[in-house]
Amino acid sequence: MEKMSGRARAVLFVLCGSIFLEGVDVSMLGMALPAIRADLGMSTAALQWVVSAYVLGYGGFMLLGGRAADLLGRRRMFVFWLAVFLAFSGLGGFATDGWVLILARFVTGFAAAFMTPAGLSLITTTFPEGPQRNQALLWYAGTAAGGFSLGLVVGGLLTALGWRWVFFAPVLLAALILVMAIRLVPADVPVAGPRRFDVAGALSLTTGMVVLVYTVVRVPEVPVRASAVTGALSVLLLVTFVLVERRSSAPLVRLGILRHTALVRANVATVLFAGAFVSFQFITVLYLQEVRGWSAIETGLALLVVAIDAVLAPTVTPKLVERWGNPPVIVAGVAAAVVGYALFLSIPADASYWSAMFPTMVLLGLAFTLVYGPLTIIATDGVADAEQGLASGLWNTSFQFGAAIGLAVATSLSVAAHGLPGLHDAFVVPVAAAALALVVTATGLRRRPAAVPAPV
Task: Give the DSSP per-residue string, 360-415.
Answer: HHHHHHHHHHHHHHHHHHHHHTTB-GGGHHHHHHHHHHHHHHHHHHHHHHHHHHHH
Query: What percentage of the chain's residues is helix, strand, coil (to nearest 5)?
Result: 80, 0, 15
Per residue in 141-176, pLDDT (tens digit) is 778 877 877 787 788 888 888 999 999 988 888 999
Indicate if the pLDDT at residue 448 is higher than 70: no
Q: Residue 456 — pLDDT band, cuts 50, 70, 90?
A: very low
How does residue 449 score in pLDDT terms, banded at 50, 70 and 90?
very low
* Residue 366 pLDDT level (bands cut at 50, 70, 90): very high
Assess whether pLDDT exceeds 60 at residue 301. yes
Side chain identity, residue 50: V
Supply the pLDDT for residue 329.
95
Residues of the chain with CATH 1.20.1250.20: 1-186, 253-445
Question: Which phi and psi angles does 383 have, rounded to 5°?
Answer: -95, 135
Mean pLDDT of 197-203: 82
pLDDT for the residue 396: 77
Which 3 state secondary structure label does DSSP give 196?
Answer: coil
Cα separation, 423 vs 435, in Å, equals 19
Task: Supply the pTM of this predicted model.
Answer: 0.80
What's the pLDDT score for residue 444? 67
Q: Do 116 and 57 touch, CB atoms closer than 8 A?
A: no
CATH number at 253-445? 1.20.1250.20
Q: Which residue has the higher pLDDT, 196 or 40?
A: 40
Choose the most confident range, by mean pLDDT, from 143-157, 279-293, 441-455: 279-293
User: What average pLDDT does the structure give for the chain?
Assistant: 85
Distance CA 256, CA 270 (A): 20
Determine what percent of the chain is predicted with pLDDT higher than 70: 95
Q: Higher confidence at residue 329 or residue 416?
A: 329
Q: Give me the pLDDT at residue 389, please.
A: 67
CB 34 within 8 A of CB 295: no
Confidence of residue 191 (pLDDT cuts 50, 70, 90): low
Cβ partners under 8 Å of residue 124, min gap 6 = 133, 137, 380, 385, 388, 391, 392
Mean pLDDT (whole number) for 285-305: 89
Outline where 92-130 has alpha helix (H): 98-126
CA distance 19 to 273: 18
CATH assignment of 1-186, given 3.90.1150.10, 2.60.420.10, 2.60.120.620, 1.20.1250.20?
A: 1.20.1250.20
Q: Which region among 230-234, 319-323, 383-387 has the lowest average model confidence (pLDDT)?
A: 383-387
Look at residue 335 and tell me whether its pLDDT is greater than 80: yes
- Which pLDDT score is estimated for 376? 84
